[in-house]
Amino acid sequence: MTFLIIILVFNQHPKETNPVKIVFGAGICVYQKIISPVQGDVCNFYPSCSHFAGEAIEKYGIFWGTLMASDRLMRCNHSAVNYYDTFYSGIKNGKVNDPPENNFILSPIRKPFDIIIEKIE
């Protein structure tokens, strides 16, 4: 079973050498392949919380990735839809769009905006 998990992880990240990241990756992999299909499509966000955790750990490291993932798990509730156009990046694939880049501590973002075009006189 452990061998299978290691294969699953290395299949996705062949260059990964950090053992803690491998363990976290394995855990997320097991969850996504075995447990997630059984409980159905329950996440309110896109990407789903497990994908978010994987991406956050990969981009920002284990410490920040774990904090971001635990915060995301606590935000994953039905009230998220109320803030889709203020605190989140709109709707994608029928769910509230909240990629890992949308954090203001590690990567402040500046989104483009549309303004009314008026001729300057």
Residue 77, interface with another protein (CB under 8 A)?
yes
In the complex, least distance from residue 16 CB atom to another protein, rounded to whole angstroms:
22
Cβ-contact 27, 11 below 8 angstroms: no
Choose one: 14-22, 24-32, 50-58, 64-72; the region binding another protein (CB under 8 A). 64-72
Give the residue with the Cβ less far from another protein, 19 or 41: 41
Which of 3, 15, 17, 37 binds another protein (CB under 8 A)? It is 37
1 binds another protein (CB under 8 A): no
Binding status of residue 42 toward another protein by CB under 8 A? yes
Judge whether 89 and 101 are in contact, CB under 8 Å. Answer: no
Report the alpha-carbon distance of residue 75 to residue 23 in Å, rounded. 24
Amino acid 111 reads K
Q: What phi, psi does 97 have (nearest 5°)? A: -85, 120
Strand order of the β-sheet with 95-97 is: 45-46, 95-97, 91-92
Read off the tokens for 74: 């606590």
Residues making contact with another protein (CB under 8 A): 34-35, 37-42, 66-71, 73-75, 77-80, 82-83, 86-87, 103-105, 108, 110-113, 115-120
